[in-house]
């Protein structure tokens, strides 16, 4: 089965999915961003096949979302740390979690997120960068960008 090259589409969502749209990739990135940084930790936490985990980590490294750093020699062992580019996806991950909590978690959210500076539990909310009003579909218009 031939996979489409989404990176060629004139769409930032498509180009993003070309990098993080594979099965498991967002879960691997979530784990790396929230402190599961060693291969075995990620493997044990997710229960993912080793070859799939290696492939997903390699993709994240190739695209600059994760860096691999040796923490032990003889034998060499590595940890995987989020880069600024990877950490910049955390709000999108939290928005997906918020959607999942609302639409797929009938018994309530399986985990809660606390905002460290204020100490309160929080749910990701996407807001307008100008007026801070929540962004909803009915209030959004689409127009060509500068490169269209």
Q: What is the pLDDT of residues 68-82, one digit of tens each?
A: 999 999 999 999 999
Report yes or no on 148 lying in a domain: no
pLDDT band at 8 (very low <50, low <70, confident <90, very high): confident
Percent of the chain at pLDDT exceeding 90: 89
C-alpha 65/C-alpha 71 separation (Å) is 19
Residue 81 lies in a domain: yes
For residue 146, tell me if it sits in a domain: no
- Domain presence at residue 98: yes
Q: Quick check: is 145 in a domain?
A: no
- What tokens appear for 17 in the block? 């999915």
Q: Average pLDDT for residues 34-60, to the nearest whole number?
A: 98
At residue 89, φ and ψ (nearest 5 deg) are -85, -10
In a domain, 48, yes or no: yes
CA-CA distances (angstroms) from residue 17 to 6, 11, 25, 109, 113? 7, 10, 10, 25, 25
Residues linked to residue 77 through DSSP beta bridges, in sequence order: 72
- pLDDT higher than 80, residue 130: yes
Residue 38 lies in a domain: yes
pLDDT at 62 over 80: yes
134 touches 125 (CB < 8 A):
yes
pLDDT of residue 4: 78
CATH label of the domain that carries residue 92 = 1.10.10.10
0.85 surpassed by pTM? yes
Domain range for 121 is 6-139
What is the structure's pLDDT at 78? 96
Residue 83 and residue 66: Cα distance in Å, rounded? 5
Q: What is the DSSP string of 19-38?
A: HH-STTHHHHHHHHHTT--B
The angle, 0 to 180 degrees and rounded to 10, between the axes of the packed helices 90-103 and 25-33 is 110
Q: How many domains does the chain have?
A: 1
Q: d(Cα 104, Cα 127) in Å, to the nearest integer?
A: 23
Domain-embedded: residue 111: yes
């Amino acid at each position: 089965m031939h996979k489409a090259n989404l990176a060629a589409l004139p769409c930032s969502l498509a180009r993003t999915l070309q990098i993080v749209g594979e099965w498991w990739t967002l879960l691997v990135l979530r784990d790396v961003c929230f402190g599961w940084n060693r291969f075995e930790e990620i493997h044990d936490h997710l229960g993912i096949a080793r070859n799939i985990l290696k492939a997903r980590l390699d993709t994240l490294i190739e695209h600059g979302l994760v860096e691999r750093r040796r923490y032990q020699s003889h034998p060499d062992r590595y940890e995987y740390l989020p880069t600024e580019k990877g950490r910049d996806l955390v709000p999108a991950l939290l928005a997906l979690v918020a959607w999942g909590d609302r639409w797929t978690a009938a018994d309530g959210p399986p985990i809660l997120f606390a905002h460290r500076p204020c100490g309160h539990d929080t749910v990701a909310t996407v807001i307008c960068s100008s007026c801070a009003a929540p962004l909803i579909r009915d209030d959004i218009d689409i127009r060509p960008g500068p490169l269209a």
